[in-house]
Amino acid sequence: MFPGRPREFSTSPPAAIFPTSADRPMNPNNDKRAVAEVFSPEHRLQTFGNGIDIPPSSIRGGLKETAVSVVQEKLGLKEGEVIYTSGYSSDVADYAYLAQAHDNILFINAVANLAMKDGKLVTFGSSFVKTASSHPTIPVETAVSAAERMTRASYNGSPTKIEYLALSNGTVALVHVIQVQNDEAGVWLEVHVDAHTGEVHSAVDFVA
């Protein structure tokens, strides 16, 4: 357990996910502004002044191992539910950035970050969310067709992925992650198609 009373800040941005209809193209006029953007769940940031002691059980061999252990301890998560994505050490502190996972499936937009110094936790932030079923019921071929129909672009052959997407209503969707392109229109998108309903939830514009 971590002692101390932190200062907490909410860094949640406005919801940026726009509902779409399965019968209406997301981008009928190849207008990039029509693309649904990825929602970012509320990010709670805690600061601990000069820092609070990290439990000895959470101090591991290096930055990666210690950071994962700290997040697991803080949020009550199990092994495999926290993935280290990057980090670095400086004269000021050690910094780590992590992502949430469930059943070895990474979340697109649920992340954590922390800073440590001299065996103490200085800051801790997280937008982790509750999980959902990890077994898709919509085949990827159907998801590709939905992505192409909604964007009027074509699947570019990049490997598809199964990931989680936190939604603005507080729920979590298992999604097929599919890249589509329309070179003539200058469109290159990563589209997130619900792996249970086939709904297109959002997309990331690689060109904008």
pLDDT more than 90, % of the chain: 60
CA atoms of 195 and 174, how far apart (whole Å): 6
CA atoms of 97 and 64, how far apart (whole Å): 9
Higher pLDDT, 15 or 196: 196
In a domain, 74, yes or no: yes
- Give residues with Cβ within 8 angstroms of 118, minimum separation 6: 51
Q: For 90, what's the count of Cα atoms within 13 Å in the CB-facing half-sphere?
A: 6
Q: What is the CA radius of gyration of the chain?
A: 19
In a domain, 22, yes or no: no
In a domain, 55, yes or no: yes
First to last CA, the chain: 44
In a domain, 172, yes or no: no
How crowded is residue 79: how many other Cβ atoms within 10 Å of its Cβ?
8
Higher pLDDT, 1 or 17: 1
In a domain, 155, yes or no: no
At residue 17, does pLDDT exceed 90? no
Domain count, the chain: 1
pLDDT tens string 27-58: 544 454 445 566 778 888 999 999 999 988 88
Whole-model pTM: value is 0.63
Confidence (pLDDT) at 70: 94
At residue 76, does pLDDT exceed 50? yes
Q: Which domain holds residue 118?
A: 44-126
pLDDT tens string 143-159: 999 999 999 999 999 99
197 three-state secondary structure:
coil
What CATH number did the domain enclosing 94 receive? 3.10.450
Confidence (pLDDT) at 1: 54
Q: What is the mean pLDDT of the segment spanning 102-122?
A: 92
- Give residues with Cβ within 8 angstroms of 44, minimum separation 6: 8, 9, 10, 11, 125, 126, 127
In a domain, 48, yes or no: yes
CA atoms of 86 and 95, how far apart (whole Å): 9
At residue 12, does pLDDT exceed 80? no
Confidence (pLDDT) at 3: 54
pLDDT grade for 21, boundaries at 50, 70 and 90: very low
Confidence (pLDDT) at 5: 45
In a domain, 95, yes or no: yes
